[in-house]
């Protein structure tokens, strides 16, 4: 390598990442993954909720550069410490593009979010955990996706119809990702999806609650197909949601496999 092809970051220390690569292969995403970091999330009931996220950060790399500067991703996070929140994502992405000399930047933020839930009969209060994600990209404009995973109970309609006693049920995970105009609360998506299974789940149940939940699920049998169709109907009725995808996975209790279904709706072309 010629000395003229090196970019020196400090006296006597060559910047190897920006030395020339001759293979002429651009990289669409390069960066750092699985950073554990505190963030702040808007909470419908408590204003703000502090939680700990797993963060992935990427930019594109032009074909003529050998590598990107991994340390700069962490520097950017540290500069926005205590301010890593939804309304700051666009600023962070713009800074990633500027600091790393890239055309595009990407953030993936996965975090646990907690909601106060009361048992259906006793009213016993407990915190339910929901796994959420922010997926944000910036080229010319911001593209943002909110994701939420909601655990529910599903009771098999076929089993209930065939069996003389009871029916098999299982814990299920419903996963939704949405693009929207304006604003939508995580709590709204949780409430919407919890109504698509046979019964919501609770962190704390007393005996009277367990009786209610068991009987409620029995009266509301759902195939995995029923669950995503119900979610489709409910999500498509929310006007400010312009795109969504929904998945449901039932962790079967009498089979050694899961049942799965997914649906998607894109209304962006109609805007």
Predicted confidence at residue 66, as pLDDT, reads 65
Categorize the per-residue pLDDT at 14 as very low, low, confident or very high, splitting at 50, 70 and 90.
Answer: low
Q: What is the mean pLDDT of residues 81-101?
A: 88
Predicted confidence at residue 123, as pLDDT, reads 97
23 by Cβ neighbours in 10 Å (0-12 / 13-18 / 19+) ranks as exposed
**Displacement of CA 86 from its chain's centroid (Å):** 13
Contact 55, 37 (CB under 8 A): yes
Contact 201, 128 (CB under 8 A): yes
Distance CA 133, CA 175 (A): 11
Token readout for 150 is: 């909601």
Residue corresponding to tokens 């106060």: 116
52 pLDDT higher than 60:
yes
Predicted confidence at residue 69, as pLDDT, reads 73
106 pLDDT higher than 60:
yes
pLDDT mean across residues, the chain: 88
Token readout for 39 is: 């963030």
132 by Cβ neighbours in 10 Å (0-12 / 13-18 / 19+) ranks as buried
Dihedral-angle region of residue 234 (phi above 0 means left; psi in -120 to 50 means alpha; beta otherwise): alpha
Distance CA 68, CA 74 (A): 13
Domains of the chain in start order, with CATH, are 28-270 (3.10.270.10)
- 19 vs 152 pLDDT, higher one: 152
Distance CA 188, CA 150 (A): 12
């Amino acid at each position: 390598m010629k000395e003229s092809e090196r970019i020196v970051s400090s006296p006597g220390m060559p910047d190897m990442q920006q030395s020339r690569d001759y293979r002429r292969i651009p990289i669409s995403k390069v960066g750092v993954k699985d950073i554990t970091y505190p963030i702040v999330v808007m909470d419908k009931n408590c204003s703000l909720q502090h939680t700990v996220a797993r963060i992935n950060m990427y930019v594109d790399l032009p074909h003529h550069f050998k590598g990107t500067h991994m340390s700069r991703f962490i520097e950017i996070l540290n500069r926005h410490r205590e301010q890593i929140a939804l309304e700051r994502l666009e600023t962070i992405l713009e800074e990633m593009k500027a600091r790393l000399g890239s055309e595009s930047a990407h953030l993936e933020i996965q975090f646990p979010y907690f909601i106060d839930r009361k048992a259906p009969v006793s009213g016993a209060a407990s915190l339910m955990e929901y796994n959420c994600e922010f997926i944000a990209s910036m080229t010319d404009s911001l593209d943002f996706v909110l994701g939420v995973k909601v655990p529910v109970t599903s009771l098999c309609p076929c089993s209930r119809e065939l069996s003389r006693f009871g029916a098999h049920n299982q814990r299920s995970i419903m996963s939704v990702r949405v693009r929207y105009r304006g604003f939508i609360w995580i709590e709204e998506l949780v409430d919407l999806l919890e109504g698509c299974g046979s019964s919501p789940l609770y962190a704390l149940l007393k005996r009277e609650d367990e009786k209610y939940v068991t009987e409620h699920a029995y009266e509301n049998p759902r195939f995995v197909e029923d669950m995503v169709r119900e979610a489709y109907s409910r999500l498509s009725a929310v006007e400010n949601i312009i795109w969504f995808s929904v998945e449901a996975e039932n962790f079967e209790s009498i089979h050694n496999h899961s049942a799965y279904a997914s649906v998607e709706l894109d209304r962006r072309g109609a805007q």
